[in-house]
Amino acid sequence: MADHIPLYPVQSAAAAAAANRKRAAYYSAAGPGQGADRHSRYQLEDESAHLDEMPLMMSEEGFENDESDYHTLPRARITRRRRGIEWLVCGGWKSLCTSCCDWLIHVCQRKKELKARTVWLGCPEKCEEKHPRNAIKNQKYNVFTFIPGVLYEQFKFFLNLYFLVVSCSQFVPALKIGYLYTYWAPLGFVLAVTIMREAIDEFRRFRRDKEMNSQLYSKLTNQRIPSDMVFLRTSEKAGSCFIRTDQLDGETDWKLKVAVSCTQRLPALGDLFSINAYVYAQKPQLDIHSFEGTFTREDSDPPVHESLSIENTLWASTVVASGTVIGVVIYTGKETRSVMNTSNPKNKVGLLDLELNQLTKALFLALIALSAVMVALQGFVGPWYRNLFRFLLLFSYIIPISLRVNLDMGKAAYGWMIMRDEHIPGTVVRTSTIPEELGRLVYLMTDKTGTLTQNEMVFKRLHLGTVSYGTDTMDEIQNHVITSYSQTQSQASGNNASSTPPRKAQSSAPKVRRSVSSRIHEAVKAIALCHNVTPVYESRAAGAGETEYAEVDQDFSDENRTYQASSPDEVALVQWTESVGLTLVSRDLTSMQLKTPSGQILTYHVLQVFPFTSENKRMGIVVRDESTAEITFYMKGADVAMSTIVQYNDWLEEECGNMAREGLRTLVVAKKSLTEEQYQDFESRYSQAKLSLHDRALKVAAVVESLEREMELLCLTGVEDQLQADVRPTLEMLRNAGIKIWMLTGDKLETATCIAKSSHLVSRTQDIHVFRPVTNRGEAHLELNAFRRKHDCALVIAGDSLEVCLKYYEHEFVELACQCPAVVCCRCSPTQKAHIVKLLQQHTGRRTCAVGDGGNDVSMIQAADCGIGIEGKEGKQASLAADFSITQFKHIGRLLMVHGRNSYKRSAALGQFVMHRGLIISTMQAVFSSVFYFASVPLYQGFLMVGYATIYTMFPVFSLVLDQDVKPETALLYPELYKDLTKGRSLSFKTFLIWVLISIYQGGILMYGALVLFESEFVHVVAISFTALILTELLMVALTIRTWHWLMVVAEFLSLGCYLASLAFLNEYFGIGRVSFGAFLDVAFITTVTFLWKVSAITVVSCLPLYILKYLKRKLSPPSYSKLTS
């Protein structure tokens, strides 16, 4: 509706006043009940059309100034767009090609349309449609696409494509320069190494998938559900069961699922196959929180129709936590909710590889320019274009093919080092192509549950207002509980008849200060009663069937009992009451039983339960004590919700703050005694409200609120979700390293905020801005402006509000969020997590890393530039899909600071040195050609060229993968050193240019030196210049190394030995021109003193100035780490 309203520039004072009123109406609405501000929000919706042209203000003045001619201000997004030729030149051609490829792939792999389906029970033959196989697939290729896919991934790099063209040109006789193997051998070796590495990675993925897909299922009990099902029947007598959904949505709360009542009531299990019934299910969807369907039984009179909702479903990747379940499969394979929320794995390419790709393009331009200059100096005589191509081939070593081989072997070496590191045991490198990415990360997205926390709740603190109990004083509480229950038991036995009237009188008597003992007694009883926990007793006799559960209430042995609940907090509270003496022994829909320290059983009838929701932030229960008939309303909830409900006190707010600062999750517990008349009046109004057709939720809430007045505050509890080992120091290290950390979780806002504080993701001095829930454009606009005015504060935002902001103000929101020191996104679906990662990549252009441990993190891990999976209690789904798999969160510190640093620094040095090796020999070729009248004749024959890039220099150059500038201990102690890596200074156009100048200087000195010093023995110029070249390269490797390793020394001497041996045995290659000219190397000549001192002189002139310059640079402008290592 708002989108069709015409847009006019608003300049009147009345309009400005209206804007002020809108803001006031929105910001004055506060508190848990949001009914009051709904009206003003709907008004905003109608007027939100004006926001199309309104930029986000930098300050309040834009809203308040009646001269606000915002129609003159362009929107941020429009100014950033490029059009026409500028767009095409600035990378538009690339996106155009990508779009065309994506379209072709889409056409080839067009998916069949998803449809609703009808599934008959026990009659698969009635199913007309084919459905996908129920298998998981993490592989990138299949048998047919493997070779074409790997070749495409290789030749999309400019470097490899260039060498393919050069190699193919050698089949044309007019362009042939040397032997075919000179070009094809290195290219074949590169491709063979790549194909082997990819094949090994792919085979590992295939084996892991096969292992997962070969698991057999029949009845599901305490194992992962393999496909999406409708829940038909369970062994639990209540007709319901709990499931764990942490692998699907990241929530640790156990969810209650209800079996279809028609099938649950069937006398025997076999009757499922004898009835004539079917399930109708909607078409597969992304949303994991909704489902619509129906169950129909046709052979009963009348036919049974039951509506099915989300509570009747069991999604794949969830785990049955209690009893056994039987269901009918409705979605399989690709159509399951968990797979639909998982993105396809992409081939990840490291930033360093992209940078080197750019540099090789620059080298290619230099190659063309050099060849054109040579032809121009020739005077374009004869078939000059053929000469141009021959020069292109002669100088082709400017772009070294060994670059890819060396880098790929280096990556394999880094992966091996990571897996061998004893400080991070169990680490696995699953994607061996991107170890350098670990040294370039700016944004780290992490899951909460199981990643930062252990997901184990521990009761830590009980506060009664005047006295506080911690873990070391729990025995005092136990003594008080034992004492109070022994007293009440003796009073009850001594005067049974008259026990009720005095208790009733007490509720209306004036309030007197009770003893600490009685207050502890009341608090512990309230905590033991106010919850949704069910004790479960494991069946002792195997195969005892359903009757075992019916008689379970007779067996109250402690070691046989486990607790189930929708929240781990509640389980922690009930376990704590058990530890102090008051034990929950049984519970069903209408009653619960507690066991006192003396073994007496107390029975309470459950009259009403008011469940916890994220809106009301509290839960309540009304119970009647069977022995006294006393009715009590207990309530517990967040301090925000409870502070207005309990009687006036002066300590609650302060103590809640103290506990929150300790990272504890607080709950306020209160009670209210009700008379029979009060309860009956409430029940009649409550039942009436539940039957109303209009505004049912509001009416029910109003009736419950009538009870929630002037409640007696009993206690404040503090529960700790235990963090993983060393999470705090690890997060602090990452923050100091300049990495911005975003926590993306499916959990509740309060829980996420609490963990953000306790883990020190948000430091103690920082404010937290909780982004208010927004549902439309107007609200998002106002809230973003409120957020813009905050400085240096962490942001907490819920998934649905994030969705609204990204819909209307994507660029503005990301820009603001990126300025925050930390961001917490709660209630995030798996797809949203991946979307956030992609947004950061697009808007910032920085490298991102995602860390998670559950199936719900797989999309995020695959979308990030670098995905790290943690192998935890919750299965291996994340670690299998990740690039790097670790066993604990704390290992990330060493993985990034040490291995990330080393991998990036080593690859940068290795890449540039290999380029230098190609440039220096091309410079010598250029000098040689120019001296000999610009003839396109090769200086060195085939074998020398291949040997130069392999046996003569390969080992010393490759030994750079063992170099390190900083010791691991120093890198961990000073994480600030990591900030330099993200700037990419180790490999840039500046450093590349320095290497180019070094290569031109050294190549020129070597060739001219050889020609000047050996005029009389000109026939030996090849041997002389090549010997000096090899010595220069070995000395340059020594100059580049920062920390020597014994293998580096071995490599240097091994290469020198190989070269000296070849001088003796391959002397025919050291003459000028072809071997048939008879220009053989005289072995006697190379042993003369003249040869040795002249070669030595040339080598010294080429290397000594560089050694002096390096020494001066270290003295005058030392690197940031040198002070730490000295």
Q: Annotated active-site positions, please?
A: 447
**Where does residue 554 fall: left (phi above 0), alpha (psi -120 to 50 degrees), or beta otherwise?**
alpha
* Structure token digits, residue 196: 């082997």
Query: Which residues, 6 or more positions from 247, have their beta carbon under 8 angstroms from its beta carbon?
Result: 224, 317, 318, 319, 338, 854, 855, 856, 874, 875, 877
**DSSP 8-state symbol, 898:** I
CA distances from 796 to 211, 251, 758, 772, 842 (A): 40, 17, 15, 9, 22
Closest CA to 742 of 717, 761, 763: 761
Closest CA to 751 of 719, 716, 717: 719
- 253 φ, ψ to 5°? -60, 140
Q: Report d(CA 61, CA 742) in Å as an integer.
A: 32
* Structure token digits, residue 955: 């080992």
Closest CA to 438 of 454, 453, 424, 452: 424
Beta pairing, strands 866-870 & 884-886? parallel
* Structure token digits, residue 910: 């290795």
Closest CA to 13 of 61, 49, 67: 67
First to last CA, the chain: 70
Q: Report d(CA 143, CA 206) in Å as an integer.
A: 11
Burial class (CB in 10 A: 0-12, 13-18, 19+), 245: buried
Q: Report d(CA 79, CA 335) in Å as an integer.
A: 41
Q: Is the peptide bond before 425 cis (omega within 30 degrees of 0)?
A: no
CA distances from 871 to 203, 672, 882, 888, 1033 (A): 21, 47, 10, 8, 45
User: Alpha helices of 737-872 — where are they, by DSSP H?
Assistant: 749-758, 777-788, 799-818, 830-844, 858-863
Query: Which residues, 6 or more positions from 995, have their beta carbon under 8 angstroms from its beta carbon?
Result: 912, 913, 915, 916, 919
Q: Report d(CA 489, CA 496) in Å as an integer.
A: 10
- Distance from the Cα of residue 698 to its chain's centroid: 39
Cβ atoms of 232 and 259 closer than 8 Å = yes
Burial 1055-1069 (b: 16+ CB within 10 A, else e): beebbeebbeeeeeb
CA distances from 730 to 96, 452, 726, 944, 966 (A): 42, 10, 6, 51, 20
Q: Report d(CA 566, CA 564) in Å as an integer.
A: 7
Report the DSSP beta bridge partners of residue 429: 884
Q: Report d(CA 657, CA 754) in Å as an integer.
A: 11
Block residue for tokens 């078409």: 283
SS3 content of the chain, % helix, strand, coil (to 5): 55, 15, 30
Burial class (CB in 10 A: 0-12, 13-18, 19+), 972: middle
* Structure token digits, residue 496: 């049974």
Interaxial angle between packed helices 351-378 and 158-169, expressed in degrees from 0 to 180 and rounded to the nearest 10: 40
